[in-house]
A = this chain, B = another copy of it.
């Protein structure tokens, strides 16, 4: 329940002239990780936004260990760190097909009411799925 694993291929557009994935693109991979964690829970982030709640990132930290390469099938492992409150925190590990650790990362996101722009508590329908 607190863990999800999701795999996908590195796109050419995501490389840079170092011949590996541009480091800034990992933020997108983490997002895919947590969105798929949420989907596995039976909730889509799309429906959350349609319901008036958005979840901006307020903290991002990435340790780069080894480069991801074009066409690699990478796996993002997403772990919910604790029961979400007004914030939700995830740890991530990204692996390549040889199970080499490419990066570990952490993000904190804040639940926000889109109509008021104010922070709110984690919606009950998420907390119920987690308990």
In the complex, chain B residues whose CB is within 8 Å of the CB of A49: 17, 70
User: In whole angstroms, how far apart are the Cα atoms of A54 and B62 in the complex?
Assistant: 19
Tell me whether chain A's interface is mostly helix, strand or loop, or mixed: mixed
Q: How far is the CA of A94 from the CA of B16 in the complex (A)?
A: 21
Looking at the complex, which one of B24, B46, B63 makes contact with A24 (CB distance below 8 Å)? Answer: B24
A32 within 8 A of B: yes
Instruction: Report the copy number of this chain in the oligomer.
Output: 4
A12 touches B25 (CB 8 A): no
A28 at the interface (CB under 8 A from B): yes
- Other-chain contact of A17, B32, B60, B70 (Cβ < 8 Å): B70
List of B residues within 8 angstroms of A16 by Cβ? 12-13, 15-17
The closest CB in chain B to the CB of A64 belongs to: B58
A125 at the interface (CB under 8 A from B): no
- Measured CB to CB, the residues of A under 8 A from B are 11-13, 15-20, 22-25, 27-28, 31-32, 35, 44-46, 49, 54, 56-64, 67, 70-71
Question: Nearest 4 A-B pairs (CB), nearest first?
Answer: A24-B27, A15-B17, A46-B71, A23-B57
Complex A-B: 10 CB contacts under 8 Å: A11-B28, A15-B17, A18-B54, A18-B56, A46-B70, A56-B67, A58-B63, A58-B64, A60-B62, A60-B64
